[in-house]
Each structure stands twice: as C-alpha cells, then as structure tokens.
C-alpha cells in the first residue's frame, strides 16, 4: 500500500473514534494539534471526495436523506487502512528514535 | 457606494495571478464582487481588505457550507465551477483554501480535464469545415478563427501541465 498523504491520514485519524461532519474534522485536528494544523476547506473537500470514491469513508445512514449536514464515518476498509498507516508511522518513529539515540545494531 | 468595472482577460492557468490581483485591488479599497464577460466589478470601500481565492470544483451545498465555516465568504460563481471566495486579511492570516500542494495539483488536473472535453467537442464540431472544404471567403475566415482558438487551447494546456508538474514536484 502507498503511504497516505498527510491530509488524508489526518482525516482518517479524526474519524477513527467518532463520526463527524466536514468542519468538525477541521476543528478536531486543529484542537488536538494546539492550533498548529489547520486543514484548508478545499483540501478537506478533495480528500473527502477521494475517500468516498475509494469507499474508505461513508455517510452515516440516518443523515443521508435529510438536508442536514453530511456526517462521515470510517468504513471497515477505511478503518483497516487507517490502522495500517498508523502502524507504518509508528514504526518510522521507532526507527527514528533508535537511530537518533545511536543504538548500534548487533 | 461607488462601483467601478475593469476589463481583463485572464486564462484559467492564471487563476493564481488573478486572485493576487483581486487581493491587491482590495488593499487599494476596491472590493471585487461580480464578474461578467471579461469585466470585473468592484465596490469602493477603503475600510476593508480581503484575501481573494479562486477555486475550480463541481460544488454542492456541503462545499459552500464548509468554506463558509472555515471563514471564506462566497463572492461569485462563474460557469458553475469557478468559485470566488474572500476573507478579511486580518482574520484569515496566512490561511488559504488549500493547505497542501497535492490538492492544488488536483485542482489544475480538474481544469485540464474540463478544457480537454470542451476542446475535443469543438474539434469534432468544426471537423466538417475541413471535410467539406471550399475555399470561400467565409471558410477561410472560419478556419483562421478556429486555428486561433486551437492555438489558444494548446497554450492553455501547456501552461496547465506546467502548473500540474510544479505542484507534483512538491508532493513527496
């Protein structure tokens, strides 16, 4: 699997534990990053469109027919992609820490 | 309130220059609010300074709501897909409507697809001109015009591809 773009990863991350509408995703990432990461609306709209096409996210059924805000959640496949990417990033961090701490490989 | 209009031809590959120009006009006190047939309409208001942004997207309600919540006021839409937004410069700071090069690249790709479809439609529609060629004054005039438009499109395609490559090289 190709590494996800940072913006795509952030959207999956925001949806990992709860369903959100578009702006809710921006807010959540902004809050958790202490205001440092603010996804722009055009970027988010593109990511949401792509993720829906790839069936990694889906609309929460109850909201689909109403004219209410669209609420998104991860599909099963989306959850899987997120976990895979999360593991990849974690591994990169572990490797980085090892190298920076100068641990020699036997 | 005074309204002024300015004539300007701006091709789709120069959307970044166009939004820069609109932002500069705004700083001078001329607030863009409407576009019609190569004329840009401005309202004179020296108490405001906006950052202008132009997007190309097949939009729905959710799209406009999202931009609105993120602080971007919808100003004008042209040909159903070109959307002009603005936000007060002091409020929006250095935020823009795109926050990574991948999504800017995707916008230029949508533009390329859009104009390719129009271009091929036009070529097909004008093919009859060559197939039934008769060297009348009218045919020569039409051919000259069609050739000019084709060259303009080729120029646009090259420029759009350069933009796509520029932003692709920033995705890593």
Ordered by start, the domain boundaries in chain A are 6-101
Instruction: Compute the nearest-CA separation of A44 from chain B (Å).
Output: 8
Which of A6, A41, A67 is closest, CB to CB, to B70? A41
* CB pair distance less than 8 Å for A38 and B95: yes
Tell me which chain B residues have a C-beta less than 8 angstroms from the C-beta of A22.
62, 65-66, 69
Mean pLDDT of B111-126: 93
A20 strand-pairing partners: A72
Q: What is the pLDDT of residue B139?
A: 86
Residues composing chain A:
106
- The structural architecture, per CATH, of the domain A6-101 is Orthogonal Bundle (1.10)
Per-domain boundaries in chain B: 3-92, 101-168
pLDDT of residue B5: 95
Residue A64, pLDDT score: 53
Instruction: Give the mean pLDDT of chain B.
Output: 94
Which residues are CB-contacts of B104 (< 8 A; sequence separation ≥ 6)?
A: B98, B167
| CB-CB contact of B159 with B13 (8 Å) | yes
The DSSP 8-state label assigned to residue B12 in this structure reads: G
Average pLDDT for residues B100-106, to the nearest whole number?
94
Judged by CB atoms closer than 8 Å, whether chains meet at A43 and B95 is answered as no
Q: What is the rounded radius of gyration, in angstroms, for the C-alpha atoms of chain B?
A: 19
A34 at interface of B, judged by CB pairs closer than 8 A: no
User: Taking residues B4-8, what's their average pLDDT?
Assistant: 96
Chain A contact for B15 (CB, 8 A cutoff): no
- What is the mean pLDDT, run by run of 10 residues, along chain A of 106 residues? 86 97 96 96 96 95 64 97 96 95 68
Q: What band does B80 get if pLDDT is binned at 50, 70 and 90?
A: very high
Contacts of residue B98, Cβ cutoff 8 Å, sequence gap at least 6: A40, A42, A43, B104, B107
Q: Taking the model in full, what pTM does it have?
A: 0.90
Q: Alpha-carbon torsion B47, B49, B54, B57, what sign?
A: negative
pLDDT at B127 over 90: no
């Amino acid at each position: 699997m190709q590494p996800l773009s940072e913006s795509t990863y952030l959207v999956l991350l925001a949806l990992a534990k709860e369903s959100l509408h578009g702006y809710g995703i921006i807010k959540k990432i902004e809050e958790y990053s202490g205001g440092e990461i603010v996804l722009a609306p055009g970027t988010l709209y593109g990511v949401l469109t792509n993720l829906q096409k790839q069936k990694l996210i889906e609309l929460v059924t109850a909201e689909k027919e109403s004219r209410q805000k669209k609420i998104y959640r991860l599909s099963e496949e989306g959850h899987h992609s997120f976990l895979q990417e999360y593991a990849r990033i974690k591994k990169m961090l572990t490797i980085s820490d090892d190298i920076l701490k100068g641990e020699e490989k036997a | 309130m005074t309204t002024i209009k300015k004539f300007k031809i701006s091709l789709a590959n120069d959307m970044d220059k166009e939004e820069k120009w609109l932002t500069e006009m705004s700083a001078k006190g001329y607030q863009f609010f409407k576009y019609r047939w190569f004329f840009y309409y401005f309202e004179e208001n020296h108490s405001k300074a906006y950052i202008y942004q132009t997007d190309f997207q097949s939009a729905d309600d959710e799209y406009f709501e999202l931009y609105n919540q993120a602080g971007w006021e919808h100003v004008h839409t042209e040909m159903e897909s070109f959307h002009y937004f603005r936000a007060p410069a002091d409020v929006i700071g250095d935020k823009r409507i795109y926050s990574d090069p991948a999504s800017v690249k995707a916008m230029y790709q949508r533009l390329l697809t859009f104009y390719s479809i129009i271009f091929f439609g036009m070529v097909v529609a004008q093919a009859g001109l060559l197939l039934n060629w008769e060297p009348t004054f009218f045919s020569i005039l039409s051919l000259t015009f069609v050739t000019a438009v084709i060259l303009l499109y080729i120029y646009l395609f090259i420029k759009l591809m350069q933009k796509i490559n520029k932003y692709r090289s920033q995705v890593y």
